[in-house]
Amino acid sequence: MTIKEDIQSRRTFAIISHPDAGKTTITEKMLYFGGAIRDAGTVKGKKTGKFATSDWMEIEKQRGISVTSSVMQFDFNDCRVNILDTPGHQDFSEDTYRTLMAVDSAVMVVDAAKGIETQTLKLFKVCRMRGIPIFTFINKLDRQGKEPLELMEELEEVLGIQSYAMNWPIGMGKEFMGIYDRYNKRIEQFRTDEEARFLPIDEEGELAIAHPMKETSYYTQAMDDIMLLNEAGNEFSEEKIRRGELTPVFFGSALTNFGVQTFLETYLQFAPMPQPRLTQEETIVDPVDTPEFSGFIFKIQANMNPAHRDRIAFVRIVSGEFERGMNMTLARTGKSFKVTQSTQFLADDRETVDKAVAGDIIGLYDTGTYQIGDTVVGGKKTFKFEALPQFTPEIFMKVTAKNVMKSKHFHKGILQLVQEGAIQYYKTLHTEEVILGAVGQLQFEVFEHRMKNEYNVEVRMEPMGNKIARWIENEEDVKESMTSARSMLVRDRYDQYVFLFENEFAMRWFSDKNEHIKLYSLL
Ligand code: G4P
């Protein structure tokens, strides 16, 4: 295979969903089809610790987060698939958002009974901002859920994206009979043996053979719905999918392994190969046309091995090919180095990687050299990829060192963790008290743990709760007297003013009184 064909075979995506929608289950089935795991129970075991082969931070062990599951790779239908994990629950952090910067498309898993939930919405917005294709899998059809038409409407209304049903459920819950596959023009039966799995449909779109299903009200209902979709629904448009304006929707049941394979096959047909990236110099780096290796760091994970205090920088390769032992230049410092230690991530273990191409993710051992957003290049000419966006934090803590004598270590630790992208830094005016901001609670826990273990500083954390952070377009018009308990004025790490509003009401109140102050949020 030429390197060009190698790159074209890559599909790199993340699964976005609200906790419990079935992301782990669907991932596990995909890995199973791809032969990456032998037993479709392996990933699931992560909750019980079976899968926790890594022994990094204790906090990680306690929570059962597995490093090895951050990136999973497998081959399926001539594609090499890279799935990047986006943790849910309290594990939700800026990392989760940044991971979405490293993928070319996203799969959104929705629980049919719950519809669009908060976390899905947040992650969806980040994908939308990037304009990447989003594919929807509506899960748990083996249980009674919302009406399919209602779910389609919800997608359009809550998310503001057009949808196209690739298939349609016939019945649901106890009466779930299968899916009418509009795209592949067949009916796929639920709970049946392999030979009888697919039923043909005729020119009119009706079930082509005599079958008991045809006599049921569920079949009639599905046919009515499909007629409605054909007449009044959106048209299928590959172009719109590519631009992230229309999401193809698939129904299924991950737990019973129904519809996942059909989904994966169809998804891989439409999912984009590695996409070009813009540089800060406003040039475009095309994965295939640019022979030199290049990539950017979207995640740094610390203490994978406590004995060595090592960190791993996750690199999304944008162009060319990586080979172990090659020379790389870190664009920010201009320093070159030979990469001898690199890692690739597989379903059940980390492996040393010798070769990887655009679209793949590799891990570089880091002793404090890298920062989030760094560009690494293989050629002589260096450049920088567009900066990764900063995300508006939602929860805040005031933080101090328990022992004032440790102040120097305290500040050093914070500086490094902030540079690493683990947490966001703010300070109060004049008194310069430290306030940390995060999008997820876990970030604070990781911060506290790492300050103690890596910098030997115990910290006192004082919750400030949720705040709405807003930056200011016309900073020169801000007066420090505008600060109040409900609209606290602070500075960020770049010394820019930021208002931390207690709630929406406080923000509106402030804006009404200070119409000339133009507020904006980060992503
Ligand atoms: P997550 O990673 O998105 O958080 O979800 P996960 O796959 O862990 O699934 C959450 C729960 O939903 C699990 O049940 C899982 O078995 C169940 N589930 C996933 N897909 C389906 C489906 O298609 N149908 C049905 N009925 N259930 C599904 P649990 O009881 O929380 O976990 P477990 O005890 O099964 O491990």
What tens digit of pLDDT does each residue of 271-315 get? Answer: 999 999 999 999 999 999 999 999 999 988 875 555 556 678 899
Q: Kind and range of the H or E element at 187?
A: strand 186-189
Tell whether 225 and 168 lie within a shared domain: yes
**Which of the listed residues 20, 24, 29, 31 should we mutate to test ligand 1's pocket, taking the one with most ligand atoms within 8 A of CB?**
20
Range of the domain at 218: 3-73+88-270
Q: Does 62 map to a domain?
A: yes
Residues 111 and 161 in one domain: yes
487 CB under 6 A from ligand 1?
A: no
Q: Give nearest CA residue, ligand 1 atom 19.
A: 22
**Does 120 share its domain with 211?**
yes
pLDDT tens sequence across 99-128: 999 999 999 999 999 999 988 999 999 999
Q: pLDDT tens, 503-514?
A: 999 999 999 999
228 with 281, same domain: the answer is: no
Query: Is residue 212 located within the same domain as residue 320?
Result: no
Q: How many angstroms separate the alpha carbon of residue 366 from the centre of ligand 1?
A: 36
Tell how far the Cα of 110 is from the centroid of ligand 1, in angstroms.
Answer: 12
Give nearest CA residue, ligand 1 atom 15. Answer: 22
Rounded to an integer, the average pLDDT of 396-419 is: 92
Residue labelled with tokens 């008290």: 433
Quickly state the pLDDT bin for 484 (edges 50, 70, 90): very high
Read off the pLDDT of each residue in 16-22 and give the average, rounded to a whole number: 92
345 domain residue, yes or no: yes
Q: Are residues 399 and 317 in the same domain?
A: no
Query: Rounded to the nearest whole angstrom, what is the distance from the C-alpha of residue 485 to the centroid of ligand 1?
Result: 43
Q: Ligand 1: which of 17, 23, 24, 25 to mutate, judged by most atoms within 8 Å of the beta carbon?
A: 25
Whether the pLDDT of residue 34 is over 60: the answer is yes
Identify the residue whose C-alpha is closest to ligand 1 atom 29: 20
Distance CA 501, CA 474 (A): 18
CATH number at residue 328: 2.40.30.10
CATH number, domain with residue 14:
3.40.50.300
Higher pLDDT, 114 or 86: 114
Beta bridge partners of 376: 295, 330
Q: Does residue 306 have a known ligand-binding role?
A: no
Helices (H), 297-435: 407-419
Chain mean pLDDT for the chain:
87
Residue 512 marked in a binding site: no
- Provide the number of structural domains found in the chain: 3
pLDDT at 40: 46
Q: Give the end-to-end CA distance of the chain in Å, rounded to a whole number.
A: 40
Residues 423, 510, single domain; the answer is: yes
- Cα separation, 265 vs 260, whole angstroms: 9
Distance CA 523, CA 52 (A): 33
- Pocket test residue of 255, 257, 258, 263 for ligand 1, highest count of atoms within 8 A of CB: 255
- Is the predicted pLDDT of residue 2 greater than 70, yes or no? yes
Domain check: are 31 and 128 in the same one? yes
Report the amino acid identity of residue 288: V
Q: Does one domain contain both 227 and 287?
A: no
Q: Is the pLDDT of residue 193 over 80?
A: no
Residue 363 CB–ligand 1 contact under 6 Å? no
